[in-house]
Amino acid sequence: MSDIAQEQASALVQYFAEAASSVLSQVSGAVLKAESILLEQPTEAATLIRLEISGALNGISELALSAPMSVQFAAMLTGETAEPGATVSSDVREAAAELLQQICGNAADRLRSAFGPLELRPSAASEREPATGSRQVLRLPRGNDVLELELHIVHLSIAKRTEAQSSPQTTCQSAPQPSAAAPPVSDLAPVAAGRNLELLLDIELGASLRFGTRQMLLKDIIELCSGSVVELDRRVQEPVELLIDGRIIAQGEVVIVGGNYGLRILQVATPGEKIACLP
pLDDT in tens, 218-272: 888 898 888 888 888 877 778 888 888 777 888 888 888 777 888 888 888 776 6
Domain stop point among 111, 132, 158: 158
Residues 227 and 96 in one domain: no
Residues 48 and 101 in one domain: yes
82 within domain boundaries: yes
Q: How many domains does the chain have?
A: 2
Residues 154 and 18 in one domain: yes
C-beta atoms surrounding 109 within 10 Å: 14
Count of H-run helices and E-run strands, the chain: 7, 10
Q: Supply the range of the domain harboring residue 127.
A: 6-158
pLDDT band at residue 194 using 50, 70 and 90 as cut-offs:
very low
Helix pair 90-115, 6-28: axis angle to 10 deg: 130
User: Is the pLDDT confidence value at 203 over 80?
Assistant: no
62 within domain boundaries: yes
Residues 28 and 148 in one domain: yes
Residues 180 and 151 in one domain: no
Residues 89 and 150 in one domain: yes
47 within domain boundaries: yes
pLDDT in tens, 177-192: 333 344 444 444 444 4
Residues 212 and 153 in one domain: no
Alpha-carbon 275 to chain mean position: 26
166 within domain boundaries: no
220 within domain boundaries: yes
Q: Say if residues 57 and 111 touch (Cβ distance below 8 Å).
A: yes
Residues 53 and 85 in one domain: yes
185 within domain boundaries: yes
DSSP secondary structure, 168-201, as one string: HHHHTTPPPPTTTSPPPHHHHGGGGTT--GGGTT
Domain stop point among 94, 125, 158: 158
Q: What is the helix, strand, coil percentage profile of the chain, to 5?
A: 30, 30, 40
pLDDT in tens, 81-129: 877 778 889 889 999 999 999 999 999 888 888 888 888 899 989 888 8
pLDDT in tens, 43-81: 899 999 999 999 888 999 999 999 999 999 998 888 888
- What CATH number is associated with residue 140? 3.40.1550.10
Residues 143 and 214 in one domain: no
222 within domain boundaries: yes
Residues 187 and 262 in one domain: yes
- What CATH number is associated with residue 266? 2.30.330.10
Residues 268 and 222 in one domain: yes
Closest by CA to 10, choosing from 162, 115, 86, is 115
Domain stop point among 158, 193, 211: 158
* Contact partners, residue 232, CB within 8 Å, separation at least 6: 211, 212, 213, 214
C-beta atoms surrounding 259 within 10 Å: 11
Closest by CA to 276, choosing from 205, 179, 172, is 205
24 within domain boundaries: yes
Residues 121 and 205 in one domain: no
pLDDT at 180: 39
